[in-house]
Structure 1
């Protein structure tokens, strides 16, 4: 998964990705961002990529892949799929949810991604 490798290349900082579907194909965009080990904030929150993103992914490089209260606040007011990568160097895993404004539901990874074998899902079981 290209996203996992890019997150690992960011070393000990979080990183943010937008996945947009245009012209019948997926596009991965990493916005200009202010990142530290515990948070990542896009410099320009109103870019075309931000506005057209269907999926937003961020890494919690050393922590378990879980959505935090900070994630809930930052993702409120949006309607999209969110994913968080955790423990990307030792035990890479991903957690996925659907957000509709301030309401969130955990969803199965296979509804959204085809995961490589090196990435473990923390998401709910598929139905």
Structure 2
């Protein structure tokens, strides 16, 4: 479909198509902003989960952020090298590691939040404040549990 303008696409007038394109654009902007700070969106997901939901053993952490368990090990190695997470042996089961975020990791997460907010500002630049509030409200209604 290369070279076809979105309005010319057979689904160009459908919400699912436009939502998909907006999602792709937002993810591209997030990756771009995070990369400027040598961060990855996967790092963000791990740190945000640890900060918001608390420490966890590696397997449950992988499950709660929907990451492949072997990929998570590589990410945790990177995050541990940066000093953003700490792994310790689970006293209840010495075969498991418990992962927690460090103070340095919380600071890095706060900086990543700012980069994501900047990506969002870039994405929403064409919309005024009222349109942004409306979009957020409508999207919230679509994904209500």
**TM-score (normalizing by structure 2):** 0.22
Which one has a larger percent strand, Structure 1 or Structure 2?
A: 1
* Structure with the larger RCO, 1 or 2 (CA within 8 Å, 6+ apart): 2
- Structure number with larger C-alpha Rg: 2
Which one has a larger percent helix, Structure 1 or Structure 2?
A: 2
